[in-house]
Structures are given as structure tokens and as C-alpha cells.
Amino acid sequence: MILPNQLTVLRIILSPIFLYLFLSGNELLQQISLGVYLVAAFSDWYDGWLARKYNFITAWGKFWDPLADKILNATAFIGFVYLGVLPFWMVFLILLRDFTITGFRGYTDYIGISFTTSRYAKVKTFFQMAFIYYMLVIYILSQNSFLSKLYGNIFDILLNETFILILMIIVTFITVHSGFLYFTENKTAMKKLLKRK
């Protein structure tokens, strides 16, 4: 198995490890979970860079690499739902959209029908990742007993329930809307798919 694909597998393996550490309730383990998440996220950038630089592009990687990304993001979202920080229904819509599109793209690539990914989808990914990074860093720091004593008021502002809800509404809307546009902007490919059936 080539290195980019090995990194993809590593990202999938690190996802449940991150979630376990994040939900442990232990300050040190939660801080380690942030490191695990960042390593997994960095592996995504690095395996993509390797694949482009050395043309390590495989059918296996084209399917599993984006799926590994979704699994990693899903663990973070699920963790925050479990902790009562994010509303379940919004996370459900995000995960439904992401896994549906990823599975659909994998299937259409397999049967030889190409669906294009818009810049808007990349914007969606950026907003999701920025939100997850923000939430992980601020939440984990706020759980540190020393820092919470010094900067408790700041953490209360940064993790304000209304503020987080507004951010989550924006992320959810962009995610769902980009999924809708994914199909409407690929009408030709959809027609080919329907004719094939």
C-alpha cells in the first residue's frame, strides 16, 4: 500500500482514539486528544500533497481519502453532541449530507460517471474545519483547571451558547446548501446516471 493510502488508514484509526480521549473527562487526555486530532488532520494535507506531487492517485484513495476526512470530522461533531455542546439535529444534517455525497461520489466514480466538485464545496469544508478547530481548542483549554481559573470569563464569552449556535447554524446551512447544489450543478451527470439505470 502506497504512503498516501497508509496515511488515510492512519486517519481512520486515529478518529476513535481521538474520540475516546476527548470524552475521557481527564484534562491531560483531552489535551492529548487535541494533538491526536491535529496529527490526523495534518495527515490529510500531507497525503493529498504526496498524491499530487508524485501522482500517487488510486481508485482506493479517491474513495477512502474523503471518507476518512468525514469520519474524522464526524467524531468531533459526535463528541460535542455527547457533551451537550452542539444540537443533535444540526450534526445529523451535516453528517447525512457529507456521508451521502461521499458515498454517491464513490459509486459514480466506480461506474465511470464524473461529478464535479465546486469551489463552494471547498468553502463548506473550510467552514467546517475552522469551526471544529475553534471548538476543540477553546473547549479543551476551558476544561483545564488552571486556565479556567485565570480566563474563565473569556472562555464563557468564547463558548457562549448563543454565539456557538449562530456559528453552527451557518455551518449547517452551508453544508446542506452545498449538498443541494452538488446535484443541481451536475445535471448532465445525473442524466447519464439515470439513463444507465
Give the pLDDT confidence of 129-138 residue by residue, as tens digits.
Answer: 999 999 999 9
Packing angle of the helix pair 27-54, 59-82 (nearest 10 deg): 160
Give the per-residue pLDDT at 55. 75
Angle 131-136-137 (CA atoms, 0-180°, nearest 5)? 105
Asked if the model's pLDDT at residue 197 lies above 60, the reply is no
Exposed, middle or buried by CB within 10 Å (0-12, 13-18, 19+), for 195? exposed
Question: What is the pLDDT confidence band of residue 103, given thresholds at 50, 70 and 90?
Answer: confident
Mean pLDDT of the chain, nearest integer: 88
Which positions ≥6 away from 110 have C-beta within 8 Å?
Answer: 59, 63
Residue 193 is predicted with a pLDDT of 64
Give the per-residue pLDDT at 11: 94
pLDDT, position 185: 75
Residues 129-151, mean pLDDT to the nearest whole number:
94
Specify the length of the chain in residues: 197
Higher pLDDT among residues 112 and 33, named by residue: 33
Q: Residue 80 has what pLDDT?
A: 97
Q: Which has more confidence, 106 or 175?
A: 175
Q: What pLDDT, on the 0 to 100 scale, is given for residue 170? A: 97
Domain that holds residue 140: 3-196
Could you tell me where the DSSP H helices lie in the chain?
3-22, 27-54, 59-82, 88-110, 119-142, 145-158, 161-184, 187-196
pLDDT value at position 175? 95
Specify whether the CB–CB gap between 56 and 4 falls below 8 A: yes
Looking up cell 500500500, which residue turns up? 1
- Would you say residue 190 has pLDDT above 70? no
Q: Which three cell numbers stand for residue 17?
A: 482514539
Radius of gyration of the chain (CA): 18
Cell numbers that stand for 82 in this block = 455527547
Q: Which amino acid is at 59?
A: A
CB atoms within 10 A of CB 147: 15
Q: How many domains does the chain have?
A: 1
CATH number of the domain where residue 132 is located: 1.20.120
pLDDT computed for residue 165 by the predictor: 97
Give the model's pLDDT for residue 70: 93
